[in-house]
Amino acid sequence: MAKIIVIGSSNTDMVIQSDRLPAPGETVLGGTFFMNPGGKGANQAVAAARLGGETYFITKVGKDVFGESALKQFAQEGIHGQFIFQDDLHPSGIALINVDTHGENSITVASGANAHLMPQDIKAAVSLFQPGNCILLQLEIPLETVIYSVQQAKQAGLSVVLNPAPACELPESLYADLDIITPNETETEFLTGIQPVDEASLIQASDYFLSRGVKRVVITRGSQGAYWKTKESSGHILAQQVVAVDSTAAGDCFNGALVVALSEGQDFEQAIAFACRAAAISVTQLGAQASMPRREQL
């Protein structure tokens, strides 16, 4: 089975669950507070590890109580952490999350050490870049680090999966090095200028990525599942219908599950269906990493 190398952020999530999300300038009382490990990179690494993937995580945390807690958590999850770096100068990343009773959320992130995961850190971990392995990246770390990681991975013969979240402007040259891109609907509209609301716009948005050199596209659509397209074929995987409690990190769960399925040799459509099942389970539970399902739950 191929090794999975997740390169990305690690945060501590401070979550308040309340009846509704506050409007600007408004205070909503009566919420419940809890604290969870999070960060898109860490969430995806935990999802992959819990589902049986041999997972390596490259990230940077502070030398503080949050960083120490994260290191212990990754070890408990069975994630290989020899390339998790500790920053002497910057604190660990923190996310403030509001969640309402319908599972909708709003999130503000203080990146901390995540903003200082640099190309030289990736260079120190280049021994992991072996042909046949897979790297999974997001955009909560510096873009220059993402670009460098993708370039090194392609030169070494790895499969490259980019979850372009949170969305930002990407250089045109990056697309040709991506085997798979996995934006949600909001990220798709930001990157392509096309709002993916129906079959025609999903095709048009997917073709935007394919025409720039991406090999395979998956547009995640929440409760509507996922649309996928390659140059040869396309399809739509419907999501299992569940009662959502917290949608935080559902996309991270999807991405972690997708690379696990692909690393096991499942075909593209099977892997997307596997990822949809995992994501559906994750939204029935509170928290980010806490909501990631284990293999037997699928």
In the DSSP assignment, the letter for residue 184 is B
* Confidence (pTM): 0.92
Let me know: does 295 contact 252? Beta carbons within 8 Å.
no
Residue 254 CA to residue 247 CA, distance in Å, equals 12
* pLDDT tens per residue, range 87-129: 999 999 998 889 888 878 888 889 999 999 999 999 999 999 9
What is the identity of the amino acid at 256? G
Let me know: does 38 contact 12? Beta carbons within 8 Å.
yes
166: number of Cβ within 10 Å: 13
How much is the pLDDT for 245? 73
Annotated binding site: 11-13, 39-43, 140, 184, 220-225, 246, 248, 251-252, 282, 285, 287, 291
15 band by pLDDT with thresholds 50, 70 and 90: confident
Higher confidence at residue 239 or residue 182? 182
96-110, 160-174, 212-226, 259-273: least confidently modelled range = 96-110
Nearest alpha carbon to residue 178 among 187, 170, 188: 170
Annotated binding site for substrate: 11-13, 39-43, 140, 252
Tokens of 263: 């690393």
Higher confidence at residue 289 or residue 218? 218
Checking if the pLDDT of 293 tops 90, the result is no
pLDDT, mean of residues 279-285: 87
How much is the pLDDT for 266? 95
213 band by pLDDT with thresholds 50, 70 and 90: very high
Residue 226 CA to residue 279 CA, distance in Å, equals 11
How much is the pLDDT for 26? 93
Positions marked active-site: 252
Checking if the pLDDT of 138 tops 90, the result is yes
Kindly give the residue spans of alpha helices, DSSP state H, lying in the chain: 40-50, 65-76, 119-124, 143-156, 172-175, 185-192, 199-211, 250-263, 268-282
Instruction: Please list, in sequence order, all residues whose beta carbon lies within 8 angstroms of the beta carbon of residue 278, skipping any fewer than 6 positions away.
Output: 47, 51, 253, 254, 256, 257, 292, 293, 298
Q: What is the mean pLDDT of the chain?
A: 93
Positive or negative, the Cα torsion across 162, 163, 166, 171?
A: positive
Location of structure tokens 């809890």: 34
Percent of the chain residues topping a pLDDT of 70: 100
Tokens of 66: 């949050």
How much is the pLDDT for 290? 79
Domains, the chain, in order of start with CATH, read: 4-291 (3.40.1190.20)
How much is the pLDDT for 214? 98
Annotated binding site for K(+): 246, 248, 282, 285, 287, 291
10 band by pLDDT with thresholds 50, 70 and 90: very high
| Torsion angle defined by CA atoms of residues 144, 150, 154 and 160, in that order, rounded to the nearest 10 degrees | -170
Annotated binding site for ATP: 184, 220-225, 251-252
65 band by pLDDT with thresholds 50, 70 and 90: very high
What is the identity of the amino acid at 251? G
Let me know: does 87 contact 63? Beta carbons within 8 Å.
yes
